[in-house]
Protein backbone atom coordinates (compact mmCIF):
# COMPACT_ATOMS: atom_id res chain seq x y z
CA UNK A 1 0.00 0.00 0.00
CA UNK A 2 1.38 3.42 -0.95
CA UNK A 3 2.06 6.15 1.59
CA UNK A 4 -0.87 8.08 0.10
CA UNK A 5 -3.21 5.09 0.60
CA UNK A 6 -1.96 4.66 4.16
CA UNK A 7 -2.57 8.32 4.97
CA UNK A 8 -6.06 8.32 3.44
CA UNK A 9 -6.80 5.11 5.37
CA UNK A 10 -5.62 6.79 8.58
CA UNK A 11 -7.89 9.79 7.94
CA UNK A 12 -10.85 7.54 7.10
CA UNK A 13 -10.33 5.49 10.26
CA UNK A 14 -10.15 8.68 12.32
CA UNK A 15 -13.22 10.41 10.83
CA UNK A 16 -15.37 7.65 9.31
CA UNK A 17 -15.28 9.37 5.89
CA UNK A 18 -12.98 11.39 3.66
CA UNK A 19 -13.77 14.99 2.91
CA UNK A 20 -11.72 16.99 0.36
CA UNK A 21 -11.30 20.04 2.61
CA UNK A 22 -9.99 17.86 5.45
CA UNK A 23 -7.59 16.05 3.10
CA UNK A 24 -6.22 19.42 1.89
CA UNK A 25 -5.84 20.68 5.48
CA UNK A 26 -4.04 17.50 6.50
CA UNK A 27 -1.73 17.78 3.47
CA UNK A 28 -0.58 21.36 4.23
CA UNK A 29 2.35 20.46 6.49
CA UNK A 30 5.45 19.76 4.41
CA UNK A 31 5.94 16.58 6.44
CA UNK A 32 2.54 15.16 5.44
CA UNK A 33 2.63 12.11 3.15
CA UNK A 34 -0.03 13.90 1.06
CA UNK A 35 1.81 17.22 0.74
CA UNK A 36 3.46 16.59 -2.65
CA UNK A 37 0.17 15.54 -4.21
CA UNK A 38 -1.01 19.16 -4.19
CA UNK A 39 -0.01 22.34 -5.98
CA UNK A 40 0.75 24.81 -3.18
CA UNK A 41 1.88 27.73 -5.34
CA UNK A 42 -1.08 30.13 -5.18
CA UNK A 43 0.08 31.80 -8.40
CA UNK A 44 -0.59 28.49 -10.19
CA UNK A 45 -3.51 27.14 -8.21
CA UNK A 46 -5.90 28.33 -5.54
CA UNK A 47 -7.98 26.67 -2.86
CA UNK A 48 -10.70 25.48 -5.27
CA UNK A 49 -8.11 23.73 -7.44
CA UNK A 50 -6.65 21.97 -4.40
CA UNK A 51 -10.14 20.74 -3.48
CA UNK A 52 -10.43 19.30 -7.01
CA UNK A 53 -7.02 17.68 -6.56
CA UNK A 54 -8.21 16.17 -3.27
CA UNK A 55 -11.35 14.78 -4.93
CA UNK A 56 -9.25 13.15 -7.65
CA UNK A 57 -6.83 11.65 -5.13
CA UNK A 58 -9.67 10.29 -3.00
CA UNK A 59 -11.47 8.75 -6.00
CA UNK A 60 -8.33 7.23 -7.50
CA UNK A 61 -6.62 5.89 -4.37
CA UNK A 62 -8.00 2.78 -2.68
CA UNK A 63 -7.87 2.65 1.10
CA UNK A 64 -7.73 -0.33 3.42
CA UNK A 65 -11.20 -1.21 4.67
CA UNK A 66 -12.01 -4.41 6.57
CA UNK A 67 -8.63 -5.84 5.62
CA UNK A 68 -9.16 -5.29 1.89
CA UNK A 69 -8.42 -2.52 -0.57
CA UNK A 70 -11.59 -0.55 -1.27
CA UNK A 71 -12.47 2.18 -3.77
CA UNK A 72 -14.19 5.30 -2.50
CA UNK A 73 -17.59 6.59 -3.60
CA UNK A 74 -18.94 10.13 -3.18
CA UNK A 75 -22.04 10.64 -1.07
CA UNK A 76 -23.76 14.01 -0.97
CA UNK A 77 -24.98 14.44 2.56
CA UNK A 78 -26.74 17.32 4.21
CA UNK A 79 -24.01 19.32 5.91
CA UNK A 80 -23.65 23.07 6.42
CA UNK A 81 -20.90 23.26 3.78
CA UNK A 82 -22.65 20.89 1.30
CA UNK A 83 -19.22 19.47 0.45
CA UNK A 84 -20.20 15.82 0.58
CA UNK A 85 -18.04 12.97 1.79
CA UNK A 86 -16.38 9.88 0.39
CA UNK A 87 -16.73 6.43 1.91
CA UNK A 88 -15.53 2.97 0.86
CA UNK A 89 -17.98 1.20 -1.46
CA UNK A 90 -18.32 -1.85 0.87
CA UNK A 91 -19.31 0.49 3.74
CA UNK A 92 -21.83 2.37 1.58
CA UNK A 93 -23.69 -0.71 0.37
CA UNK A 94 -24.21 -1.86 3.96
CA UNK A 95 -25.88 1.35 5.19
CA UNK A 96 -29.23 1.98 3.53
CA UNK A 97 -29.15 5.78 3.81
CA UNK A 98 -25.62 5.92 2.34
CA UNK A 99 -26.58 3.51 -0.43
CA UNK A 100 -29.68 5.58 -1.24
CA UNK A 101 -27.58 8.76 -1.38
CA UNK A 102 -24.98 7.14 -3.65
CA UNK A 103 -27.69 5.70 -5.89
CA UNK A 104 -29.39 9.10 -6.10
CA UNK A 105 -26.11 10.71 -7.13
CA UNK A 106 -25.52 7.98 -9.72
CA UNK A 107 -29.00 8.52 -11.13
CA UNK A 108 -28.36 12.26 -11.50
CA UNK A 109 -25.04 11.57 -13.24
CA UNK A 110 -26.67 9.11 -15.66
CA UNK A 111 -29.42 11.63 -16.42
CA UNK A 112 -26.77 14.29 -17.13
CA UNK A 113 -24.98 11.98 -19.56
CA UNK A 114 -28.33 11.16 -21.20
CA UNK A 115 -29.07 14.88 -21.69
CA UNK A 116 -25.63 15.39 -23.26
CA UNK A 117 -26.15 12.48 -25.65
CA UNK A 118 -29.61 13.76 -26.57
CA UNK A 119 -28.10 17.17 -27.40
CA UNK A 120 -25.41 15.52 -29.52
CA UNK A 121 -27.94 13.39 -31.40
CA UNK A 122 -30.18 16.38 -32.08
CA UNK A 123 -27.24 18.53 -33.23
CA UNK A 124 -27.19 17.10 -36.73
CA UNK A 125 -26.08 14.26 -38.94
CA UNK A 126 -22.40 14.50 -37.96
CA UNK A 127 -23.29 13.59 -34.38
CA UNK A 128 -25.13 10.46 -35.47
CA UNK A 129 -22.03 8.30 -35.74
CA UNK A 130 -22.31 4.62 -34.84
CA UNK A 131 -20.25 5.31 -31.71
CA UNK A 132 -22.61 8.02 -30.43
CA UNK A 133 -25.66 5.87 -31.21
CA UNK A 134 -24.09 2.88 -29.44
CA UNK A 135 -23.32 5.06 -26.43
CA UNK A 136 -26.89 6.38 -26.45
CA UNK A 137 -28.26 2.82 -26.36
CA UNK A 138 -25.92 1.87 -23.52
CA UNK A 139 -26.83 4.95 -21.47
CA UNK A 140 -30.54 4.29 -22.06
CA UNK A 141 -30.09 0.77 -20.64
CA UNK A 142 -28.19 2.13 -17.63
CA UNK A 143 -30.80 4.84 -17.15
CA UNK A 144 -33.60 2.27 -17.20
CA UNK A 145 -31.74 0.10 -14.70
CA UNK A 146 -31.04 3.01 -12.33
CA UNK A 147 -34.65 4.17 -12.52
CA UNK A 148 -35.88 0.71 -11.55
CA UNK A 149 -33.48 0.61 -8.59
CA UNK A 150 -34.57 4.00 -7.26
CA UNK A 151 -38.31 3.27 -7.37
Same domain, 70 and 112: no
Residues 75 and 105 reside in one and the same domain? no
pLDDT digits (tens, 9 = 90+) for 7-54: 999 999 999 999 999 999 999 999 999 999 999 999 998 999 999 999
How far, in Å, CA of 109 to CA of 146, rounded? Answer: 10
CA-CA distances (angstroms) from residue 85 to 22, 45, 74, 103?
A: 10, 23, 6, 14
- Rounded to an integer, what distance in angstroms lies between the CA atom of residue 62 and that of residue 76? 19
Q: Are residues 54 and 104 in the same domain?
A: no
Q: What pLDDT score was predicted for residue 114?
A: 79
* 69, 116: one domain: no
| Whether 122 and 71 share a structural domain | no
- Tally of structural domains, the chain: 2
Are both 80 and 106 inside the same structural domain? Answer: no
- What pTM was estimated for this model as a whole? 0.74
Amino acid sequence: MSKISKELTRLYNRDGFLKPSIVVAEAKPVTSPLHNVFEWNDKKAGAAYRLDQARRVIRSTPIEYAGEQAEMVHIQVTTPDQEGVYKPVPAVVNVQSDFDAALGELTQNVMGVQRTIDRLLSAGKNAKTPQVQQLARAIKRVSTLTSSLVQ
